[in-house]
Amino acid sequence: MTAKTLTQFICQNCGASYSKWQGQCAQCQEWNTLVEELVNQKSDQRQKTSLSKALLNKKLLNFSQVERLSEAKQRFLSNIGELDRVLGGGLVTGMTILIGGEPGIGKSTLLTQTVLMMVAKSAKPLNIFYVCGEESPSQIGMRIERLLKKSKSQNLREKLNKALFFVTSSDVDEITTLMAKQKPDLVIVDSIQSVTTSDLTGASGSVGQIRECSARFIDQAKSQGVPVFLVGHITKDGAIAGPKILEHMVDTVLIMEGERSGQLRILRSLKNRFGASDEVGIFQAVDWGLNEVTNPSELFLENQNQAVSGAATVCVMEGSRPLLTEVQALVVSSHLAMPRRVGRGIDVSRIQVLAAVLQKHARLSLSNYDVFVSAAGGFKLSEPAVDLGLAVAIASSMSGKKIPQKTVFIGEIGLLGEVRQVAYFERRVKEAKRLGFNKIISAQNYKHISQVIKAL
């Protein structure tokens, strides 16, 4: 082994460097901003060599020399429809995908299922690396046994025996060496927080380690043309900065969301170099794993067989896909000086604005009432297009008037109570009609919230 590589600690706020870690940066006085980095001793030399003419010519590409994605990179399917959808049509060779989310949300489950589906559907024999730092191979093995029981494929176990390899090392340099030697078709690193390099002194999970290890995986993925999944845990308050700093390094960032107690899991792409970002995949957590939800609207619409008060159907865009869901409101008289505004899956400030608009422009005296609002199925609704449905649900709960069946509300509400047109209107209407909703309330037939409420 060579001598230990030199490291330094760089303040992420002001860039000051230190030879030792310290809690506070002496330069800018910020706390916990120092991150360990490798000292690049070769930088002077590199600058000179890269100035040579031959090298410079290599660095300049004529437009005709530029490889097009379709020819240079190969796409292949994970065979999990919702995952392929979020990835923009499958995996791309050499891409690094960060998949983030709270511990226990189902990231490992999704990736194990991906392994099984790929092995089951692949025509050629595969070689897949599963780097297990979070769980032991036997724990992952147990999960696979559960999935195998569900599978109808006879020879899947046999194929899996040949294709899946657990990597038990947590040393990034050992793992990348193994990758170079064994040439896997897919690598899953579960998780990036559990991997380290001995070149840095920091513990596993420290920002410096996460960044350096990721950089090495990304290099290896690119040079070998192998897709690599990096699992990154984030806590509820986003306390671990790790995955955040990776977002600009990797090609694709997927986030898995959902309430752990609920069944719904949403896989969202925050960044995708090879496809549209903001695309969404929907899964249902079941006893054996994650079930794809290809027709999400049907999942959220429950109270559709009777007219009720306080519940309205809205249509939101999740990525490029319209989705019908229900919002519920409960309005009860309050004995508090400051009546409560509580939202589950809906921003409280949005409820406050809507309550104020209803009070001023629809003459609903909400100042003496508590307002509770909730989105169905643990879904987070942030789109303004749900305003109209929310306002109607609140008004309906207060008055006790029932909202007619098969009615969907699509519209934003302005501060003057006006109903506004929203983006992708046609697509939303089409989805509503597909599901048998024949009455669409929107800016096209009502100009003001007071008219909508009166018409109920």
**By the criterion CB under 5 A, which residues form the site for Zn ion?**
11, 13-14, 16, 25, 27-28
Cβ closest to Zn ion, residue 18 vs residue 76: 18
Cβ closest to Zn ion, residue 15 vs residue 104: 15
d(CA 5, CA 11): 20
d(CA 413, CA 395): 14
Minimum CB separation of residue 206 from Zn ion in Å reads: 17
Secondary structure, 3-state, 273-298? CCCCCCCEEEEEEECCEEEECCCHHH
Minimum CB separation of residue 7 from Zn ion in Å reads: 17
Beta strands of 64-132 (E only): which ranges?
Answer: 75-76, 91-92, 96-101, 128-132
DSSP letter for 386, please: G
Contact 227, 97 (CB under 8 A): yes
Cβ closest to Zn ion, residue 37 vs residue 174: 37
Residue 316 DSSP SS3: strand
Cβ closest to Zn ion, residue 22 vs residue 198: 22
d(CA 208, CA 96): 19
Cβ closest to Zn ion, residue 30 vs residue 173: 30
d(CA 354, CA 347): 11
d(CA 309, CA 297): 21
Minimum CB separation of residue 146 from Zn ion in Å reads: 49
Own/partner pairs, 281-284, CB within 8 angstroms, 24+ separation: 281/82, 281/83, 281/85, 281/86, 282/82, 282/318, 283/82, 283/106, 283/110
d(CA 451, CA 355): 16
Cβ closest to Zn ion, residue 202 vs residue 281: 202
Minimum CB separation of residue 410 from Zn ion in Å reads: 49
Cβ closest to Zn ion, residue 27 vs residue 277: 27
- Using alpha carbons, select from 318, 445, 305, 323 the residue that is nearest to residue 388: 445
Minimum CB separation of residue 37 from Zn ion in Å reads: 14
Cβ closest to Zn ion, residue 28 vs residue 423: 28
Cβ closest to Zn ion, residue 14 vs residue 356: 14
Minimum CB separation of residue 33 from Zn ion in Å reads: 6
d(CA 257, CA 192): 19
Cβ closest to Zn ion, residue 10 vs residue 413: 10
Strand partners, 330: 372
Cβ closest to Zn ion, residue 26 vs residue 51: 26
- Using alpha carbons, select from 365, 364, 370 the residue that is nearest to residue 348: 370
Contact 103, 233 (CB under 8 A): yes
Cβ closest to Zn ion, residue 31 vs residue 146: 31
Residue 303 DSSP SS3: coil
Residues in contact with 54: Cβ distance below 8 Å, sequence separation at least 6, in sequence order: none
Helix (H) or strand (E) holding 412, with range, is: strand 412-413
DSSP of 179-239, one letter per residue? HHHH--SEEEEE-GGG-B-TTS-SPTTSHHHHHHHHHHHHHHHHHHT--EEEEEE--TT--
Minimum CB separation of residue 29 from Zn ion in Å reads: 7
